[in-house]
């Protein structure tokens, strides 16, 4: 890895620890990746690694064709590497992918509920959420349908599995990941209180997003 990628990997490892602390992933569930903007390869957490125990030695480097590119490394990429590879191919502007197994987002989706946005942060950072049906972990179907959804959304829920949040850098991808799950938890609580409609005022959306 070059110095620029090493620096990014270091930042991503801190995000992994924070995600586990927040309960967004359990044990070795979830996987993270990052690339230097414009690069045709990315660093991804290794197969079976715990997200709160990441170091530079627990990542594999994979190119956009799906080949591991660091011959000196014995780390195998996460079994979900295709999910990352296909999304990077679909979104040249994306340089970080945070794939987690957050419980509220996945539960609401399984129950057929839409995740609603309640706060400014939910609306601004998450903006919209795509979804895919369940496909086996590591499959082409999962990777391809998620990449297709990434054409329209920066946050995606994968049925009965997990979520992806993507962004131009690590900070933005992670902000999206935590806000998506917070919105899901808020939606869950609203449903428990019997509320099925409240959300961030639609007339305010225009002022938030000009693109």
Binding site for Zn ion (CB under 5 A): 162
Residues pairing with 97 in the sheet: 33, 166
Nearer to Zn ion, 86 or 116 (CB): 86
- Inter-axis angle of helices 170-192 and 103-110, to 10 degrees? 50
Least Å from the CB of residue 161 to Zn ion: 6
Least Å from the CB of residue 165 to Zn ion: 13
Our CA dihedral for 170, 175, 181, 183, rounded to 10 degrees, sits at -160
Q: b/e for 33-57, b at 16 or more Cβ within 10 A?
A: bbbbeebebbbbbbbebbbeebeee
Cβ atoms of 163 and 183 closer than 8 Å: no
Nearer to Zn ion, 123 or 146 (CB): 146
Nearer to Zn ion, 97 or 123 (CB): 97
Least Å from the CB of residue 80 to Zn ion: 5
Residue nearest to Zn ion according to CB distances in the complex: 162
Nearer to Zn ion, 61 or 158 (CB): 158
DSSP string, 91-131: -TT--EEEEE--HHHHHHHHTTPPPPP-SHHIIIII--EEE
Give the CB-side neighbour count of residue 94, counting CA atoms within 13 A. 27
Least Å from the CB of residue 182 to Zn ion: 20
Least Å from the CB of residue 71 to Zn ion: 27
Nearer to Zn ion, 75 or 142 (CB): 142
């Amino acid at each position: 890895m070059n110095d620029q990628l090493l620096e990014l990997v270091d930042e991503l490892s801190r995000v992994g620890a924070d995600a586990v602390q927040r309960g967004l992933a359990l044990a070795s569930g979830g996987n993270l990746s990052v690339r230097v903007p414009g690069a045709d390869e990315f660093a991804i957490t290794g197969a079976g690694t715990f997200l709160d125990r990441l170091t530079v030695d627990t990542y594999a480097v994979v190119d956009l064709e799906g080949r591991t590119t660091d011959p000196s490394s014995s780390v195998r990429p996460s079994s979900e590497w295709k999910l990352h590879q296909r999304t990077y191919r679909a979104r040249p502007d994306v340089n970080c992918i945070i794939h987690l197994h957050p419980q509220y987002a996945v539960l609401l989706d399984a129950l057929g509920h839409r995740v609603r946005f309640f706060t400014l942060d939910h609306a601004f950072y998450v903006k919209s959420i795509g979804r895919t049906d369940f496909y086996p972990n590591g499959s082409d179907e999962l990777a391809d349908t998620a990449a297709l959804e990434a054409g329209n959304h920066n946050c995606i829920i994968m049925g009965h599995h997990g979520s992806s949040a993507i962004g131009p850098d690590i900070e933005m991808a992670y902000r999206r990941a935590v806000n998506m799950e917070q919105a899901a938890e808020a939606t869950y609580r609203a449903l428990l209180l019997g509320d099925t409609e409240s959300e961030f005022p639609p007339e305010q959306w225009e002022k938030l997003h000009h693109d």
